[in-house]
């Protein structure tokens, strides 16, 4: 029987999986590297940190708005500097290129983890594409931050540790090299974003070996040597930071940025059930696989007997699935125990979830695949209808553009999935990839830029820059540090909410341009008469006021 066009396309892709993953990311990001402004809050802050790294030479310890920035290590910014050097792109385009390439590395890492478990090239490629067709992943390919690279390094580390501890053929003497490599890569992950880079692999490894009754292998010289490699990599930056900024900076990193954020954070504090809502939402549309999966087996005693029976089984499939499930569950518990919780922290869970999903998808019969296709079609149909009515349904202070096109893509995707519902799992995955790619290309080009006026501080920052060029002193009151600096082009004097201190500065600086939250502006008792508002902008979740003062004498003469 002759193979269809869809089947021939899949055959070509699975024969060249690395090129296929590269093509998928390229299609989702091509010609979209400078379609919008940098957004509040991380994008503009990281842009300023990168700018300072180049301009002030702060290559070891980053600086934000002219002050040491202990929140993030420098590896990701070095990665951006490399891209800046070897490509013709300049900031901010190079920031979006960094996000796209980091996403590609996440797909590569997912593929590598699947192959380390001896899954076929076809299943491994499907795993990477499952990850890449998550609407959340497709979206953050266009968001400039280091979390995609962070997640990719964590998954690469877990792939190495699987070879070192779990693979039946390399878990003994030949697996030592893999173990050392895994801990070293985890050290690089820590230097990208922080200690979760080692905690994710370590907690998952402990859960796996504990379940298998192999605690002695965790408490072994191999693990000790691996932790030694990790410490060498991670401590290199700590030693350099100590030499550059001194012990107070290092104490801030360990106490405020690590310990306090984990136990009692001042920022992004959420309850223990936060990720029970976030993970299903970010994993869409693949969360809908639950409608096709045999979840009823969870209530059967025989299922749990089989799970217990597989604890010590050495087959590739049993070992791999156990590793994936326990790493995903351990990571979920770890995140839920932290005081600070952010949506994007779930990314390292996506690789094991994608591999489990792809492997199951290829095992399901036709009835389950049809059920999944129906679930996808209904979801995209409802999503398309919601997008078409977006300006009526969403209480935004700006009108979104291009919604008919973006919503139409979702509706066409729903129709395509419905038409292909009886086809092979590979065809279903290709249709989904095509639909998600068409959606992100359309949305990023015609809809997302219309959010700039409420998501980017560019308007206020650039207006501040104009006043700075005229000799005004830039001042900000009670803002998230660094959000206006990139677009203003100069460091800003940032003050806490203290009206007396603010009034002292206004008296000391005759010509001042001030930005503050509107709620503080409205509540300011005895606000100086010489301050006159020149701009009000709603940014992210609240309005900000930009005001200027030419000094009491100048304002009196104007009157």
Of the pLDDT bands very low, low, confident and very high (cuts 50, 70, 90), residue 481 is very high
Q: What pLDDT is stored for residue 557 in this prediction?
A: 43
State yes or no: pLDDT of 105 exceeds 70.
Answer: yes
Checking if the pLDDT of 554 tops 80, the result is: no
Cis ω before 285 (30° cut-off from 0): yes
> E strands of 23-99, at which residues?
63-64, 67-68
Strand 67-68 to strand 63-64: parallel, antiparallel, or no bridges (unpaired)? antiparallel
Q: Is the confidence at residue 559, as pLDDT, over 70?
A: no
- Under the banding of pLDDT at 50, 70 and 90, the label for residue 478 is very high
Q: Read off the pLDDT of residues 498-518 as tens digits, 9 standing for 90 and up.
A: 999 999 999 998 899 999 999
Percent helix, strand and coil across the chain, each to the nearest 5: 70, 5, 25
d(CA 369, CA 420): 10
Evaluate whether 549 touches 511 at the Cβ level (below 8 Å): yes
Straight-line distance from the first to the last Cα atom of the chain, in angstroms, rounded to the nearest whole number = 89
CB 44 within 8 A of CB 486: yes
Q: Tokens 């068409």 sit at which residue?
A: 438
Tell me the pLDDT tens digit for each residue of 371-399: 999 999 999 999 999 999 999 988 888 99
Q: DSSP character for 362?
A: H
500 with 482: CB under 8 angstroms? no
How many whole angstroms from its chain centre is CA 240?
A: 27
Report DSSP letters for 222-250, one per residue: HHHHHHHHHHHHHHHHHHHHHHHH-HHHH
Give pLDDT, residue 556.
44
Q: Is the per-residue pLDDT at 61 higher than 60?
A: yes
Residues 6+ apart with CB under 8 A from 186: 153, 154, 157, 197, 198, 201, 202, 230
Which residues lie closer than 8 Å to 490 by C-beta, 6 or more apart? 465, 468, 474
Backbone angles phi, psi at 176, to 5 degrees: -60, -45
Q: Is the pLDDT of residue 92 over 60?
A: yes
User: Nearest CA to 320 among 157, 162, 173, 126?
Assistant: 162
Q: What is the pLDDT of residues 262-299, one digit of tens each?
A: 555 556 678 889 999 999 999 999 999 999 999 888 89
- Alpha carbons 369 and 360: distance in angstroms, whole number: 10
The model's confidence at residue 253, banded by pLDDT at 50, 70 and 90, is: confident
The 531-539 sheet, strands edge to edge = 493-495, 473-477, 512-517, 542-549, 531-539
CATH fold label, 457-558: D-Maltodextrin-Binding Protein; domain 2 (3.40.190)
Checking if the pLDDT of 457 tops 90, the result is yes
In this predicted structure, what is the pLDDT of residue 263?
A: 58
Largest CA distance in the chain: 90
Q: Which helix (H) or strand (E) holds 476?
A: strand 473-477
Provide the residue ranges of all domains of the chain, joining segments of one domain with +.
Answer: 18-363, 364-453, 457-558
Listed in sequence order, the residues at least 6 apart from 211 whose beta carbon sits closer than 8 Å to its beta carbon are 311, 322, 326
**pLDDT confidence bin for 307, thresholds 50/70/90:** confident
> pLDDT tens digit string along 65-86?
999 888 888 999 999 999 999 9
User: Would you say residue 369 has pLDDT above 60?
Assistant: yes
Rounded average pLDDT over 176-185 = 95
142 has pLDDT over 60: yes
Helix (H) or strand (E) holding 477: strand 473-477
- Spatial distance between the Cα atoms of 433 and 197, rounded to a whole number of angstroms: 29
| Helices 75-86 and 176-192, axial angle in degrees (round to 10) | 80
Strand partners, 64: 67
Across 51-60, 248-257, 347-356, least confident range: 248-257
Gap between the Cα atoms of 283 and 324, Å rounded: 16
Measured CA to CA, the distance from residue 492 to residue 498 in angstroms comes to 16
Summary count for the chain: helices (H), strands (E): 28, 7
- Could you read off the pLDDT of 35-47 as tens digits, one per residue? 999 999 899 999 9
Residue range 450-461: average pLDDT? 97
pLDDT at 555 over 60: no
The pLDDT of residue 267:
63
Q: How confident is the model at residue 553 (pLDDT cuts 50, 70, 90)?
A: low
Upper half-sphere CA count for residue 301 (Cβ side, 13 Å)? 0
Strands 473-477 and 512-517, sheet pairing: parallel
Q: What is the pLDDT of residues 401-450, one digit of tens each?
A: 999 999 999 999 999 999 999 899 999 999 999 999 999 999 999 999 99
Residue 251 has pLDDT above 80, yes or no: no
Average pLDDT of the residues of the chain = 92
Q: Is the pLDDT of residue 484 over 70?
A: yes
Provide the 3-class DSSP secondary structure of residue 26: helix
Residue 558: the pLDDT is: 40
The 10 Å Cβ neighbour count of residue 418 is 16
């Amino acid at each position: 029987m002759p193979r269809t066009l869809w089947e021939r396309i899949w055959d070509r892709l699975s024969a060249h999986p690395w090129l296929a993953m590269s093509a998928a990311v390229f299609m989702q990001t091509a010609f979209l590297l400078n379609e919008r402004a940098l957004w509040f809050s991380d994008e503009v802050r990281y842009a300023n940190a990168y700018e300072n790294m180049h301009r002030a030479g702060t290559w070891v310890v980053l600086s934000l708005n002219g002050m040491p920035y202990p929140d993030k290590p420098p590896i990701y910014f070095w990665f951006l500097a490399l891209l800046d050097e070897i490509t013709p792109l300049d900031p901010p385009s190079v920031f979006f290129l960094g996000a796209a390439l980091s996403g590609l590395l996440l797909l590569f890492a997912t593929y590598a983890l699947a192959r380390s478990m001896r899954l076929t090239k076809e299943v491994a490629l499907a795993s990477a594409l499952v990850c890449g067709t998550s609407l959340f992943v497709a979206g953050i390919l266009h968001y400039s931050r280091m979390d995609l690279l962070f997640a990719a390094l964590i998954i690469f580390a877990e792939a190495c540790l699987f070879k070192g501890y779990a693979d039946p053929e390399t878990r003994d003497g030949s697996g030592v090299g893999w173990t050392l490599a895994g801990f070293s890569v985890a050290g690089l992950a820590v230097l990208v974003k922080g200690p979760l880079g080692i905690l994710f692999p370590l907690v998952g490894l402990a859960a796996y070996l504990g379940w298998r009754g192999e605690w002695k292998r965790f408490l072994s010289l191999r693990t000790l040597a691996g932790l030694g490699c990790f410490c060498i990599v991670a401590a290199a930056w700590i030693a350099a930071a100590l030499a550059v900024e001194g012990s107070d900076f290092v104490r801030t990193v360990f106490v405020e940025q690590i310990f306090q954020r984990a136990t009692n954070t001042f920022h992004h504090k959420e309850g223990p059930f936060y990720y029970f809502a976030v993970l299903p939402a970010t994993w869409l549309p693949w969360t809908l696989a639950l409608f096709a999966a045999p979840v009823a087996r969870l209530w059967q005693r025989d299922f749990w007997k089989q799970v217990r029976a597989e604890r010590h089984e050495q087959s590739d499939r049993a070992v791999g699935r156990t590793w994936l499930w326990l790493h995903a569950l351990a990571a979920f518990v770890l995140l839920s125990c932290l005081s600070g919780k952010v949506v994007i922290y779930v990314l390292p869970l996506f690789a094991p979830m994608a591999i489990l999903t792809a492997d199951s998808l290829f095992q399901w019969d036709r009835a389950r695949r049809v059920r999944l296709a129906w679930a996808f079609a209904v979801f995209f149909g409802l999503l398309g209808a919601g997008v078409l009515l977006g300006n009526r349904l969403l209480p935004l202070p700006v009108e979104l553009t291009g919604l008919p096109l973006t919503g139409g893509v979702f509706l066409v995707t729903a129709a395509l999935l419905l038409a292909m519902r009886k086809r092979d799992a590979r065809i279903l995955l290709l249709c989904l990839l095509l639909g998600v790619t068409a959606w992100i290309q359309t949305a990023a080009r015609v809809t997302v830029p219309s959010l700039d006026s409420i998501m980017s501080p560019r308007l206020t920052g650039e207006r501040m820059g104009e006043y700075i060029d005229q000799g005004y002193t830039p001042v900000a009151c009670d803002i998230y540090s660094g959000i206006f600096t990139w677009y203003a082009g100069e460091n800003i004097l940032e003050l806490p909410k203290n009206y007396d201190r603010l009034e002292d500065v206004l008296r000391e600086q005759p010509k001042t341009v001030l930005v503050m939250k509107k709620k503080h502006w409205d509540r300011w008792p005895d606000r100086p008469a010489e301050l006159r508002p020149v701009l009000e902008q709603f940014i992210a979740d609240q309005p900000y006021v930009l005001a200027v003062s030419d000094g009491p004498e100048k304002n009196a003469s104007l009157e």
